[in-house]
Amino acid sequence: MITTPEDVLARAETLRNRLPSSFRDEIVQSLYAEAERIARRAVKTAGNRQYDLDQRIDRLVTAPVTGLLIMLLLLTVVIWMTVSGANVISDLLFTLLFGFGDWARSLFVAWGVPWWITGFIWDGVYRCLAWVVSVMFPPMAIFFPAFTLLEDLGYLPRVAFNLDWLFKKAGAHGKQSLTMMMGFGCNAAGVISTRVIDSPRERLIAILTNNFVPCNGRFPTLIMLATVFVAAGFGGAAASLVAAGAVVAVVLIGVAFTFLMSWLLSKTVLRGEASAFTLELPPYRRPNVLRILYTSLIDRTIFVLWRAMLTAAPAGAVIWLLANIRFGDASLAVAIAQWLDSFGRLLGLDGAILLAYIIALPANEIVVPTMMMIYTSAGMMVEGPASDDALRALLVDQQGWTLLTAINLMLFSLLHNPCATTIITIFKETRSYKWAAMSVAITLGTAVLVTFLTASLARLAGLQ
């Protein structure tokens, strides 16, 4: 007699119907009872250690009020360390890399290399690379290890625990706080990490809102703008505190938008209830410093920096070409920037900034460098600014930047569309063009709307 798959399935069906309906629970129960019995025989606990250190710490760290305060404090400390430390290294790298560029350029000139080769290599590709390295590397080299340290300690699940009620209110999954935190590192990684969420509805919400937390490609932009503009009037230690405060505020705005958008989605296209889940709070562990340094510096910093450099080099080339191809009486870059300018002004930005965002689509990391390149190579600025003061002077005096420009640029950077890598990742994870397009529409729409509102408000208040 041959047994076919259908025979087996039919037989299983009959047998199952004959069993009492509670049999599944009984199996799970006997499994748990067995596990308990075996564990009791094999495990000996010495003394009564119920109130050990972990629990005492947890009582503080996960309590409603102190939990939130500690979270804010840690975020501020990490960002403050990043801001104040990054400045020093950044200045050093600027001097070093731009000095080398100028020296190499003058060599090329002395050797009589045609101007367009010299320009393409040193004013285009190299300058953009130097910008990316000196703007991005320092904050990453501080932020990533600090973040990895918190991760290794076991702090991240506590954050998830603290934020759970908010996500529940927003109709989203509590594990979304974990995926949100992965987004601080890289939004593409954040999108992949949503696989821990079982429900497809809640997973989509987590994917679509992941971009509202600034990834490490965008942190340097925020830090630079906060340092150069928001903290401009303050001196010494106060300046870095103010700058850190501004970045923390932007991050909190991003988190607020995450909740807002999750709530909107769960009330409209992705309607449904938040599902329950268990989250284990792991024990606090002594971090392994060497491994943290390795993971954060090699796996994360160098990886992100390398990716930025790969996109920065062609971006630099594109900008140089745009700046040196004539279009009417101006260069192509100037022409496009002027064409975009009135729309940019409407958002409190300008045409060069919007052009920079378009060129920097492959990687958000290079927005500021691209923007600077457009300003400099289009003949609007004479040479790469060597310090914060010079940068501020040039942007404010020559480009007419105001505090509003800086703030709106920070908001735009926080809210605008994901980078190309993240968009592709969203497509791969959802297998749907619709949701990938939706993620762009939601974020870009929010960014345009919010910056338009702040710019209009500033104008109404007569600040502009």
Q: Does 204 bind another protein (CB under 8 A)?
A: no
Question: Considering the complex, what minimum distance in angstroms separates the CB of residue 267 from another protein?
Answer: 25
Rounded Cα gap, residues 15 and 17, in angstroms = 5
Question: Considering the complex, what minimum distance in angstroms separates the CB of residue 58 from another protein?
Answer: 14
Q: Does 192 bind another protein (CB under 8 A)?
A: yes
H helix intervals, 194-302: 200-209, 219-225, 236-267, 289-293
Tell me whether residue 30 or residue 106 sits nearer to another protein (CB atom): 30
- What are 445's two structure tokens? 């729409």
Tell me whether residue 105 or residue 307 sits nearer to another protein (CB atom): 307
Rounded Cα gap, residues 76 and 363, in angstroms = 26
Environment class of residue 4 by beta-carbon count within 10 Å: exposed (0-12), middle (13-18) or buried (19+)? exposed
Residue of 51, 111, 285, 434 interacting with another protein (CB under 8 A): 285
Q: Does 205 bind another protein (CB under 8 A)?
A: no
Rounded Cα gap, residues 357 and 364, in angstroms = 8
Closest CA to 407 of 259, 253, 238: 253
**Cβ distance 265 to 173 under 8 Å?**
no
Residue of 63, 103, 165, 198 interacting with another protein (CB under 8 A): 198
Report DSSP state, residue 145. Answer: H
- What are 37's two structure tokens? 């019995």
Tell me whether residue 179 or residue 331 sits nearer to another protein (CB atom): 179
Closest CA to 79 of 259, 193, 195, 231: 231
Q: In 3-state terms, what secondary structure has residue 255? A: helix
Question: Considering the complex, what minimum distance in angstroms separates the CB of residue 116 from another protein?
Answer: 43
Residue of 138, 142, 148, 425 interacting with another protein (CB under 8 A): 148
Q: Does 18 bind another protein (CB under 8 A)?
A: yes
Tell me whether residue 57 or residue 396 sits nearer to another protein (CB atom): 57
- What are 294's two structure tokens? 């390795």
Question: Considering the complex, what minimum distance in angstroms separates the CB of residue 28 from another protein?
Answer: 7
Q: Does 459 bind another protein (CB under 8 A)?
A: no
Residue of 55, 95, 106, 288 interacting with another protein (CB under 8 A): 288
Computed on alpha carbons and rounded to an integer, the radius of gyration of the chain in Å comes to 27
Q: Does 290 bind another protein (CB under 8 A)?
A: no
Q: Does 289 bind another protein (CB under 8 A)?
A: no
- What are 14's two structure tokens? 């009959």
Under the rule (CB under 8 A), what is the footprint of another protein?
1-9, 11-12, 15-16, 18-20, 23-24, 26-28, 30-32, 34-36, 38-47, 49, 52, 148, 151-154, 156-157, 175, 178, 192-193, 195-198, 278-280, 282-283, 285, 288, 291, 294-295, 298-299
